[in-house]
Structure 1
Amino acid sequence: MSNATTSVPSGLDAGGLDQLSPDVRSYWQMVGFRLRHDPVTLFFGAVILFVILAAIFAPLIAPKDPTLTSMIDRLKPIGYKDYLLGTDELGRDMTSRLIWGARSSLLMGLMPVVFALLIGGALGVIAGYVGGKTNMVIMRIMDVFYAFPSILLAVAISGAMGGGMLNGLISLTIVFIPPMCRIAETATTQVRGLDFVEAARATGGGTGSIIVTHILGNVLAPVFVYASGMVSVSILLASGLSFLGLGVAPPTPDWGLMLSTLRQAIYMNPIVCALPGVAILITSLSFNMVSDGLRQAMDVKL
């Protein structure tokens, strides 16, 4: 009699999933495989991680107090004495202010998107699955907000509420809820008519259980990819609010506010004055590139 043997997928004995054929990988394993082999996404992801770590550990790595002024050291160039990136219009260390400014800029960039994802995503899933009058009411309310450009709506809401970081967060959250709701509603509408959802209804599954078990897993990917791309827009809008005096209040370090206070000195020291703008550009571009990489990695058609 011949001995029975069990076949093992090629690559398991070598360790890791990288050698597995696509047929034996799960969806999320395939997404991870694509991300690990995407150098552009990995690079910009490392940039985002660096900015986040700098914001978290700002008290430890910032060389000076970001609010400490020195009138004799105003607008000094890069490399002056122990000021690595020079000083601003009040003689404050630009290196420390950029590091501390990452905190408020990331907070204003990430939190509105997270809140909008939770609120808008929930409304979109409910509208897409229930349909009928519920869909009509929710989506017509969202359409009202679409009538206004994002930046004007954010400025109007923040200005009406009196400015400040909290009001800026609220205004940006309101701005991002409609597009999040639209994406979630569209994805849910496409999924709710599929066979496995109909089978769940036929077996007596409740609305809540069907949404949690069958709908969310298929809606999460497009909504999450869209949300990651909105972070870069949120950072730009938050910086714009601070630039106009409707966001973070001085003397709190914030990249948009720093651009506003330094704009009058741009002809005296243009390089130092441009540093907050460079920080905004690099961070928003990094989030945009990571979002594009996630979209490609999560695209089942690829």
Structure 2
Amino acid sequence: MSTTIDKVATPAPMAAPRQRGYWGTVGYRLRHDPVTLCFGALLLAIILSAVFAPWLAPFDPYRESIIRRLKAPGYMGHMLGTDELGRDMLSRLLHGGRLTLTMGMVPVLLATLIGGGLGVVAGFLGGVANAAIMRVMDVFYAFPSVLLAVAISGAMGGGVLNGMIALTLVFIPPLCRVAETATTQVRNLDFVDAARATGAPLRLVLWHHVLGNVLGPILIYASSLISVGIILASGLSFLGLGVKPPEPDWGLMLNALRQAIYVSPLVAAMPGIAIFLTSVSLNMVSDGLRAAMDVRS
């Protein structure tokens, strides 16, 4: 008599979960953050519309027409109406975004390079070098950022270039402070001490061991300053210390249209709406990036 032994099928071993690296985890968190994705898409659309403004603008942004002054949206093909000189508002907003975004982003980039570099050097060297650099930064901290930007730009005579120089000088101290704090926390860690003990040159220790660990906080804080830069740049243009007429700029357009707020309130509010949407999008993306890069969460 033969006996049949039923073989019980053993389940296949489960595959081990794929380990993500740091940047893989950051990307995973961003992809599953609908709020950041939504505002990131809006911010990308604003940036692309400014970059491709010459091809997207339906009219010449400098063409004036007295008989078409302050017309409502939809008038004779003007989707967003016309301004106080009869110029197409959509075309002006698209071209104005180029100068406004440039004046908001370039100073933050320059300040990140200068202020971040000074902060890393001050935090790593410590002692007299730290005291000298940070005391100079404290002098700039004595003045409110808005008043300091207005004072520097006014003293230099206004204009796009002088406005960007003024904003760069305003943003250097806070970025230097963030970089110095992060570097001070990293410089005494074990892996930095081990690199020093092996006789590694100071340049390599800074580049490979220190900068890689402080770059994240610096970039996150710098991204949050871009919205501030756009608001300050628009404020300088609003006061006549930034972009000069007839160049399109959101702050300058807001100043020119403030007298028309009672005649055509929707048209007059459009530059302010553009500034608001851009600033909110930048802040939300910056907050999402900060949460995604937080390794403790």
TM-score above 0.5, yes or no: yes
Paired position in structure 2 for 1:265: 260
Shift of 1:10: 4.0
How many residue pairs get aligned? The number is 285
> % of aligned pairs identical?
66
Confirm or deny that 1:203 pairs with 2:218: no
Within the candidate set 27, 30, 35, 2:30 is matched to 35
Q: What is the TM-score when the length of structure 2 is the normalising length?
A: 0.94
Paired position in structure 1 for 2:91: 96
The 2-side partners of 1:235 and 1:134 are apart by: 33
The 2-side partners of 1:184 and 1:63 are apart by: 45
Confirm or deny that 1:70 pairs with 2:65: yes
The 1-side partners of 2:95 and 2:132 are apart by: 43
The 2-side partners of 1:197 and 1:122 are apart by: 18
| One-letter amino acid of the structure 1 residue matched with residue 20 of structure 2 | R
| One-letter amino acid of the structure 2 residue matched with residue 28 of structure 1 | W
Cα distance 1:117–1:8, how it changes in 2: closer, same or farther (>3 A)? farther
| One-letter amino acid of the structure 1 residue matched with residue 158 of structure 2 | G
The 2-side partners of 1:216 and 1:131 are apart by: 16
Cα distance 1:214–1:9, how it changes in 2: closer, same or farther (>3 A)? farther
| One-letter amino acid of the structure 2 residue matched with residue 194 of structure 1 | L
Q: What is the TM-score when the length of structure 1 is the normalising length?
A: 0.93
Within the candidate set 24, 31, 50, 1:55 is matched to 50
Paired position in structure 1 for 2:231: 236
Paired position in structure 2 for 1:117: 112
Alignment of 1:163-242 (within 5 A): 163-242=158-237
Paired position in structure 1 for 2:286: 291
SS in 2 for 1:89: coil
SS in 2 for 1:251: coil
Cα distance 1:134–1:63, how it changes in 2: closer, same or farther (>3 A)? same
Provide Cα deviations, 1:89-128, integer angstroms capped at 9, x if missing partner: 0000000000001100110110000000000000000000
Provide Cα deviations, 1:152-188, integer angstroms capped at 9, x if missing partner: 0000000000000000000000000000000000000
SS in 2 for 1:272: helix
| One-letter amino acid of the structure 2 residue matched with residue 91 of structure 1 | G
SS in 2 for 1:102: helix
The 1-side partners of 2:285 and 2:38 are apart by: 9
List gaps (5 residues or longer) in structure 2: 1-12
The 2-side partners of 1:150 and 1:214 are apart by: 33
| One-letter amino acid of the structure 2 residue matched with residue 32 of structure 1 | G
